[in-house]
Amino acid sequence: EGSKLDCQVHIGHGVVIGKNCLLAGQVGVGGKTVIEDNVVLYGQVGVIQRVRIGRDAVVLAGAGVSKSLEGGKVYFGAPASEAPTKYREIAALRHLPEFFKNYYR
C-alpha cells in the first residue's frame, strides 16, 4: 500500500514489500526477502535472497545488500554498511599512499 516501484525493478518470488516504500530504477531484490515499511532503495541497489531490511532504512545508490539491515539507518557501499562508517573508510583510503611513504622510510 502506497509503495512505488520505478522502471526496471526486479522483485524475486516470495518478496514482501511493506507500506510506503520506494524502489528506484534497476533495483533487484532476491526471493523471500522482507522489506519493511518506509524503506527507500535508490537506483541499482542489489539485495540477496532471504534478508530483512528494517523499517525506515535507506540504502543509497549502487549498494549491495548481503545481510539483513537494521531499520532507521542509512547504508552505502558493497557490501552495504552504515553510511557514516563507510564514508570514513573511503576518506581514510586517500591517506594510505602518504602513510606507506612515511612507513617505509
Catalytic positions, written as ranges? 13
String of DSSP letters for 65-89:
E-S-B-TT-EEETTTTEEHHHHHHH
How far out from the chain centre does Cα 35 lie? 12
Number of continuous H segments (helices) and E segments (strands) in the chain: 2, 13
Cell 535472497 locates to 49
Residue 75 sits at φ, ψ, to 5 deg, of -120, 155
